[in-house]
């Protein structure tokens, strides 16, 4: 009898191990899919295996959303939704403790954690009020947005009840945590209504002090890939031959709250022209950063001589964080160089020549230079 019990136990353990391996392998197969049907033939039966798992396997399935293959993550999300819906419709329970542990583990991908959050509050709506306040500084911007939204609403309530100090404190903490522009603007507006000051350029990390030089030739858009002298070296006291004669560097500071530099105002209106802008950014340490550019003109970004991004697009829209270059600051002086190209279109909507650039981390938190002017 003992031998039989041991044999049964071994068989059960083997079956469990096989099932676990099967799920892991199925998830790996789904992660191999790509565009135009790549890997789909193998992934379809693999997804069926994933979709047939029990609710208790949801955390393991969520962990299969790796974040580097959006298409595969969408397929896996469909399996998660199918399992969770089937479980709740049958009257059974989701593994809420395990799902919340998954949510709290910030090493999991933002999309998978967001999906875990959605099913937790679907199964237990009261859990939202307990969970969301703890997401105010979450690395998932979608989850953080939930917490900031609630904090803004609480601040609005306090304001309506004439609890000014409490409202200010909550609006200020909302502003500190917010990374989405609309929430930042809401918190800023409310704080200013209450007599508080807000330094938006500093909050965003906009660079406001530049050296500018223009115009170099961009006739027929020929200047985008032509390396003019500033791309070789930055010599602020040098003069160069430009499109219309000698050009030299000019110092320029913008007081625009969103760091906007209007090159038409700063350098004069030019068409078929290239401008360069350079800023010197002092960093107290080496670290990875984003250089995020808003620009309606064709553009390139360099950091310490390394090209981070190039976008040969004219007058096709603009916005904060429109283009993102990821680079590495070194300790000490860093050189940020922009190339902003204007074309020769004559339409009224094609006359703007401007840019805004901010320095931040991957979440959009401002990274400020130690030589930033005090305001």
pLDDT tens by residue, 226-236 = 999 999 999 99
Write out pLDDT tens, residues 30-71: 999 998 889 999 999 999 999 999 999 999 999 999 998 999
Q: What is the pLDDT of residue 72?
A: 96
What is the token pair recorded at 33? 């899919």
Question: Is residue 210 within 8 Å of 185, Cβ to Cβ?
Answer: no
Alpha helices for the chain (secondary structure H): 2-30, 40-51, 58-62, 70-89, 96-104, 110-123, 127-131, 141-160, 164-177, 181-193, 200-204, 263-267
Write out pLDDT tens, residues 274-325: 999 999 999 999 999 999 999 999 999 999 999 999 999 999 988 999 999 9
Alpha helices for 31-140 (secondary structure H): 40-51, 58-62, 70-89, 96-104, 110-123, 127-131
Helix axes 110-123, 96-104, angle to 10 degrees: 150
Q: What is the pLDDT of residue 17?
A: 37
Which of the residues in the chain have pLDDT under 70? Answer: 1-21, 375
- Burial of 338 from C-beta contacts in 10 A (0-12 / 13-18 / 19+): buried
- Burial of 10 from C-beta contacts in 10 A (0-12 / 13-18 / 19+): exposed
Which helix (H) or strand (E) segment holds residue 328: the answer is strand 323-329
Question: Is residue 238 within 8 Å of 248, Cβ to Cβ?
Answer: yes
Q: Give domain 204-360's CATH architecture.
A: Sandwich (2.60)
Q: Give the distance between the most distant pair of CA atoms in the chain.
A: 100
What is the token pair recorded at 119? 């099913």
Q: Is the pTM of this model over 0.85?
A: yes
Q: Parse the chain into domains and list their residue ranges.
A: 18-125, 141-198, 204-360
Report the sign of the C-alpha dihedral through residues 305, 252, 185, 348, in that order. Answer: negative
d(CA 48, CA 32) in angstroms, rounded, equals 15
């Amino acid at each position: 009898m003992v031998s039989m019990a041991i044999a049964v136990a071994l068989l059960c353990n083997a079956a469990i191990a096989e099932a676990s391996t099967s799920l892991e392998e199925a998830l790996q197969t789904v992660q191999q899919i790509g565009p135009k049907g790549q890997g789909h033939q193998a992934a379809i039966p693999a997804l069926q295996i994933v979709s047939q798992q029990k609710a208790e396997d949801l955390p393991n399935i969520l962990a299969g959303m790796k974040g580097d293959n959006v298409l595969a993550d969408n397929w896996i999300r469909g399996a998660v939704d199918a399992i969770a819906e089937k479980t709740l419709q049958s009257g059974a329970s989701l593994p809420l403790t395990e799902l919340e542990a998954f949510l709290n583990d910030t090493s999991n991908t933002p999309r998978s954690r967001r999906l875990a959050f959605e099913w937790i509050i679907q199964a237990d709506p009261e859990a939202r009020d307990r969970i969301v306040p703890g997401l105010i500084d979450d690395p998932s911007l979608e989850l953080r947005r939930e917490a900031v939204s609630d904090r803004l609403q609480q601040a609005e309530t306090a304001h309506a009840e004439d609890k000014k100090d409490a409202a200010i404190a909550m609006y200020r903490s909302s502003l500190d945590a917010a990374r989405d522009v609309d929430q930042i603007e809401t918190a800023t507006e409310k704080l200013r209504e209450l007599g508080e000051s807000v330094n938006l350029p500093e909050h965003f990390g906009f660079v406001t002090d530049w050296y500018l030089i223009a115009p170099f030739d961009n006739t027929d858009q020929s200047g985008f890939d032509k390396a003019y002298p500033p791309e070789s070296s930055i010599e602020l006291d040098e003069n160069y031959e430009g499109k219309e004669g000698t050009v030299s560097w000019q110092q320029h500071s913008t007081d625009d709250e969103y760091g906007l530099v209007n090159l038409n105002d700063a350098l004069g209106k030019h068409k078929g022209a290239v401008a360069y802008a350079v800023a010197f950014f002092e960093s107290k340490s080496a670290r990875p950063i984003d250089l995020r550019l808003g620009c309606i003109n064709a553009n390139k970004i360099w950091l310490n001589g390394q090209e981070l991004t190039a976008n040969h697009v004219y007058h096709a829209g603009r916005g904060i964080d429109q283009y993102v270059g990821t680079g590495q600051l070194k300790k000490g002086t860093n050189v940020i160089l922009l190339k902003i190209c204007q074309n020769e279109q004559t339409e009224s909507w094609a006359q703007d020549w401007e840019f805004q650039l901010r320095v931040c981390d991957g979440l959009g938190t401002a990274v400020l230079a130690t030589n930033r002017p005090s305001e």
